Amino acid sequence: MRPSVSIIVPCYNEQRTIGSLLGAIAAQTYPRARIEIVIADGMSQDGTRGAIQAFAETNPGLSVRVVENSQRTIPAGLNLAMREARGEIMIRLDAHSIPIPEYVERCVQDLENGKGSNVGGVWIIRPGGDGWVAAGIAAAAGHPLGAGDALYRLNAKAGEVDTVPFGAFRRDLLETVGDFDESLLTNEDYEFNTRIRRTGGVIWLDPEIRSLYVARSTLPELARQYWRYGFWKFRMLLRYPGSLRWRQAIPPLFVLSIPLLALVALFWRSALLVLGIELIVYVGALTLASAAMAMRSRKLMVMPGMALAFMTMHAAWGGGFLWSLARRLVRFHE
């Protein structure tokens, strides 16, 4: 008999996307009787609960359960769902994701073949709305200037990696590494995978495990997302200093350099020249990357949206990182 699978999903106010996720799970090639869905809902205020109920009523052969996540955080929701889950294998998915029909089957196969302790795949990123801004955000999220070294966003080859976004792992792995860290409101996947690697486990990326990922649709939503990424990345560094990659250090250094050079220019006018050159090089790099994408996709309006998305990502990630650092320094001196 095939292993039983629990698909765990944290969500909050996901009425717009939860139906697509649930429909994709119902379309899996893996035996439906061996799948259950456990959704940790953070007390949604929109029609998320209604959408889940409607799906459950029209799919009586698929087990769907909802647990209350009163803390309204992702790691707390994941832990609640895992405690409620009964499957031999856990697969974490997101309310913004749409897995391909073979997703569960390929996750289970990789685990059975001993590919890794935690296996996952790549994102096929799609715009979260209509218009040039949403298209630019989606394009930037899958480009090295926006994704950094997140290989799952770059359609990388199969192999061992640092992390995967939606991991599949056996239940007994939790006995070795423990639950998700509820003190980290973002980067919980990376921290979880770091503990797996420190105990000798392997994180395996399989490009045949694919899911559509719906990107943020507006620049303010994108800014909030990347501010959280930067803020909690610094908290990760306090525990795992070696987890910072050189590419990730660039945004906070760049954001910090702008006010510092402007301040230095009050005493050393040549600092204005340095600042000007820095900004020209930066804008030039973003323009070239955006123009290249526009030419490849033959969609001219991707260019301005992509450039704005890059700027938003870098400024928000760098600003969030520096704000987290500043708060830590203030607390240290109190």
Summarize the confidence of residues 237-261 as an average pLDDT: 84
Contact 127, 215 (CB under 8 A): yes
What is each CA distance from 284 to 53, 128, 146, 171, 288, in whole angstroms?
50, 27, 15, 49, 6
Q: What percent of the chain lies above the pLDDT cut of 90?
A: 54
Per-residue pLDDT band at 213 (split at 50, 70, 90): confident
Per-residue pLDDT band at 188 (split at 50, 70, 90): confident
pLDDT greater at residue 14 or residue 294: 14
Question: Span 5-217: which CATH code?
Answer: 3.90.550.10
Helices (H), the chain: 18-26, 48-58, 74-84, 103-112, 132-141, 144-147, 173-177, 188-198, 219-239, 246-264, 270-297, 302-333
- Reading the block at residue 301, the tokens are 């309006």
Summarize the confidence of residues 86-112 as an average pLDDT: 93
Range of weakest confidence among 35-44, 47-56, 148-157, 242-251:
148-157
Q: Where are the domains positioned within the chain?
A: 5-217, 236-333
Q: List 119's β-bridge partners, or say none.
A: 168, 204
Is the pLDDT confidence value at 152 over 60? no
Looking at residue 204, its pLDDT comes to: 94
Per-residue pLDDT band at 309 (split at 50, 70, 90): very high
Is the pLDDT confidence value at 151 over 70? no
> Per-residue pLDDT tens for 104-131?
999 999 999 999 999 998 888 888 888 8
Looking at residue 123, its pLDDT comes to: 82
pLDDT greater at residue 52 or residue 184: 52
Looking at residue 322, its pLDDT comes to: 94
Is the pLDDT confidence value at 333 over 70? no
Burial of 277 per CB tally in 10 Å (0-12, 13-18, 19+): exposed
Looking at residue 281, its pLDDT comes to: 93
- Reading the block at residue 197, the tokens are 């690697």
Contact 79, 88 (CB under 8 A): no
